[in-house]
Homo-oligomer: A and B are copies of this chain.
Amino acid sequence: MATAMKRNNYIDENQNRFIEQLLEWLAIPSISTLSEHKSDVGKAADWVRQRLAAIGFPEAKTITTEGHPLVYAEWLPHKNQPTLLIYGHYDVQPVDPIDEWKSPPFQPTIRDGNIFCRGASDDKAQIMLVLAAIEAWVKIDGALPINIKILLEGEEEAGGASIAKYVEEHPDQLCTDGVLICDTHMVHHEQPSLVTGLRGVLYTEIALTGAKTDLHSGSYGGVAPNPIHALCLLISRLKGEDGVIQIPELAAAIPTPSAAEKLFWQEDSLHVEEALRSEMGVEELVGEKEYPPLERIGLRPTLEVHGIRGGFTAEGAKTVIPAAAMAKVSLRLPADFDPNEVFGWLEKAVHQNIPAGYSVQVTNLHAGKGFYINPDNRYIRAAAEALELVYGKTPVFMREGGSIPIASLFDETLKAPVVLMGFGLPDDTIHAPNEKFSLQQFHKGMKTVADFLGRLKN
């Protein structure tokens, strides 16, 4: 029996153990943005460090940072084989609104062929399927086919400051021929895809103040500043119902897609629109209707309000005019924008559009540059071949709306091709209640990565 088949058999036979291990890891609530979960984030780091050691990585360690720890392991047995750096993140998003979870967010539950748990798709299952593929090589072939470095972070959902610093300061240690990131999703469970572009992100908080104290609307309504009202005016001025962002410097610099992308997006437009409507449960899409949905998601900049808060919102009625209000506002940016420069443009637009009588403060919570990679290299070709073998269908190249700032940092710092091969599905509802990961994708993902690793061998 060829060893490729033996590896696949090993994956089949050990699938339940791999799932059990995943469930154990998922149950650790490693929410990186909430300080009360700091020790859980540390536990999740330690858990995966032990898993790496158990697979056989001679050196698997946690690296202390100013934020959450990094996990690093390397196994470099071959002088004449290339090195692959594998990245993932073991931290997860917060869980609110918690009422909408059908099973508790950190009690991993299998239903209808999916594992439901916060962090399932983003990104724990995707890391685990890579580790299972590596284990299959070690157990069946007795060795890795190539050299492997693994770097996992615990701050991807919190801005990723620590890994950025680490990568910039340790280019020699991380020196590699290619990079694999399993943290994206496929177009469809029968249509494999590779991501070649990611938008950048700028995440800000806009805080407004009016009077020095909360006021009674009976006594002051009609003359008092109302920061909630001003915030609504401001947001409606930054982006209208047509979805157009009113930041002139940004609008002037939006890139045009390539002819091939344009064609693919337009051809696919009706199908994609229908799929998106169904995933979201809506009758129509919003936004810039003159652009096809995939261009709006993948290339056009977006401005979204993620949260808004002000005044009295509990049960009942309180006739208060609050002294303050705030909103969390992000911009997704095409690859060639510098998000810190865009922050200056946004700040200027906010100050120009805020009504008179208010103080406003815009804070840059985090910024990550976008990313575009030419798919014509052996790493992406190997990934495409592995996907085609396992899924029986040629993968498509996609630009994705999300941001993985680390991808562009690897690209710039390590000068090695980055492969974004993810096994999530569009309806995984990452960042939302009832996040899940498909067991079938878990299974196929392990086999795809095992095959991919073999193809990188000289």
Contacts and interface: CB of A to CB of B under 8 A. Distances in A.
A220 B297 contact: yes
Contacts of A203: 317, 319
A223 B286 contact: yes
B235 A332 contact: no
Q: Give the oligomeric copy count.
A: 2
Given A211-B282, A282-B357, A288 B222 contact: yes
B34 A286 contact: no
A305 interface: yes
Nearest to A356: B284
A239 B211 CA distance: 19
Nearest to A366: B317
A395 interface: no
B219 A433 contact: no
Contact of A312 (B96, B185, B239): B96
A377 to B, nearest CB: 25
Interface string A234-269: 011101110100000000000000000000000000
Interface residues of A, number: 100
Interface string A314-344: 1111111110011110101000000000000
A218 interface: yes
Nearest to A283: B357
A179 B8 CA distance: 88
B403 A316 contact: no
Interface in A408-452: 426, 429-434
A365 interface: yes
A220 B276 contact: yes
A88 interface: no
A155 to B, nearest CB: 10
Nearest to A243: B222
Nearest to A288: B222
A218 B315 contact: no
Nearest to A432: B214
A159 B317 contact: yes
A455 interface: no
A198 to B, nearest CB: 8
Nearest to A311: B307
B401 A219 contact: yes
A35 interface: yes
Contacts of A236: 229, 232-233, 236-237
Contacts of A239: 229
Interface string A31-59: 00111000000000000000000000000
A82 interface: no
A310 interface: yes
Contacts of A293: 222-223
Contact of A313 (B216, B319, B326): B326
Given A306-B322, A308-B308, A34 B314 contact: yes
Interface in A70-111: 93-94, 96-97, 100
Given A96-B314, A215-B432, 10 more contacts: A100-B213, A158-B316, A213-B281, A216-B402, A223-B285, A223-B296, A232-B233, A241-B355, A305-B311, A307-B322
9 contacts: A217-B332, A218-B332, A221-B304, A222-B332, A223-B296, A228-B327, A241-B356, A308-B309, A308-B311
